[in-house]
Amino acid sequence: MKRLFTAVLGIATVGVLAACGSGPAPGGDSGSRTAGGTITMGFSQVGAESGWRTANTTSIQDAAKAAGINLKFSDANGVQENQISAIRSFVQQRVDVIAFSPVVRTGWDAVLLEAKNAGIPVILTDRAVDTQEKDVYKTFLGADFVQEGKWAGEWVVKQYAATPGPVNIVQLEGTTGSDPALERSSGFADAIAANPGLKVIASQTGDFTRSGGKQVMEAFLKANPKIDVVFAQNDDMALGAIEAIQAAGLKPGQDIKIVAIDATHDGMQALADGKLNFIVECNPLLGPELMDLAKKVVAGESVPPRVVTPDQTFDQQQAAVALPDRKY
């Protein structure tokens, strides 16, 4: 059953944004906008760990060009310290707006306060942060990861409804401490909780990479004689797990079922080929909406505190039909 999760817009804030520092810095200029009013955005990206990330980066770079926004783009190679340095540098360069996808959920208070005190608005994209500080970012744009984990878990519940337990599940977690890993784990756990026959017998991070998924799956296969299902928190780890399962002489998608999240091209191809069984989409094409939000925020207009992007799900038949028209 294909589900379409409509975009849920957060309730628009009525707050006086100037008070939250979206206006020019106290006593400072209004940013590095050129005379023609071109907005300059500093963007700190997690890295290039997955097919999803590559598509996300392309979307942001293309959308900035299309929107006439001058983009200063920094790739952190998965290291939080690099993101913090990049954000600090954007503040020093007095960009008009900062956007970033935080590699992990915690440790951002100081640098977010620096941007706020400099009067530079911040937009979170893709992943959220935990912070006690008030008004240190204008909005979050991204998916509902708990829902994604729930849809993956609900597929497993449905798939094994008539199978007497135990059904042994192994979980390939995303980057430790990252918003998607934490929330997909909790969504999946919630979805299977009422079914004692569904057991997560092992769970470990594969860091959202293909090689990480392969290495962890190799270890799972050595340590567990009976594995029925793999829940991979992204396609790249699922694709690595497929390699490990094949190397062990087993058929992925048949001997061991695999459910994943993202719906990137390679994942959808494996799904259509029967090596995966179900994928929950997590749309990476955030660029156009990010640029619209940036223009509003720089202009001091109010924006919703949370803008959730729509997701959907695919089984093998749906993947085969959808593949030719996929944009990523």
Closest contact distance (angstroms) between CB of 199 and ligand GZL is 24
For position 53 contacting ligand GZL by CB under 6 A, the verdict is: yes
What H or E segment, with its residue span, contains residue 168?
strand 167-173
3-state secondary structure of 204: strand
For position 234 contacting ligand GZL by CB under 6 A, the verdict is: yes
Say how far apart CA 96 and CA 299 lie, in whole Å.
10
Say how far apart CA 131 and CA 112 lie, in whole Å.
9
The dihedral region occupied by 88, where left means phi > 0, alpha psi between -120 and 50, and beta the remainder, is: alpha
Stretch of 23-31, 46-54, 131-139, 154-162 contacting ligand GZL, by CB under 6 A: 46-54
Contact between 97 and 41 under an 8 Å Cβ cutoff? The reply is yes
| Nearer CB in complex with ligand GZL: 108/160 | 108
| Nearer CB in complex with ligand GZL: 228/262 | 262
| Nearer CB in complex with ligand GZL: 147/234 | 234
Closest contact distance (angstroms) between CB of 74 and ligand GZL is 17
Stretch of 44-52, 63-71, 116-124, 294-302 contacting ligand GZL, by CB under 6 A: 44-52
Binding-site member from 105, 116, 127, 138 for ligand GZL (CB under 6 A): 127
| Nearer CB in complex with ligand GZL: 49/228 | 49
> x/- binding map, residues 145-174, to ligand GZL, per CB under 6 A?
------------------------------
Q: Which of 51, 66, 130 is nearest to 295 (CA)?
A: 66
Binding-site member from 39, 123, 143, 172 for ligand GZL (CB under 6 A): 143
**Half-sphere CA count of 44, side-chain side, radius 13 A:** 31
Say how far apart CA 93 and CA 107 lie, in whole Å.
22
3-state secondary structure of 211: helix
Q: Which of 72, 52, 75, 60 is nearest to 148 (CA)?
A: 52
For position 50 contacting ligand GZL by CB under 6 A, the verdict is: yes
Contact between 35 and 65 under an 8 Å Cβ cutoff? The reply is no
Stretch of 28-36, 50-58, 223-231, 251-259 contacting ligand GZL, by CB under 6 A: 50-58
Say how far apart CA 259 and CA 236 lie, in whole Å.
12
For position 262 contacting ligand GZL by CB under 6 A, the verdict is: yes
Q: Which residues bind ligand GZL (CB under 6 A)?
A: 49-50, 52-53, 126-127, 142-143, 180, 208, 234, 236, 261-262, 282
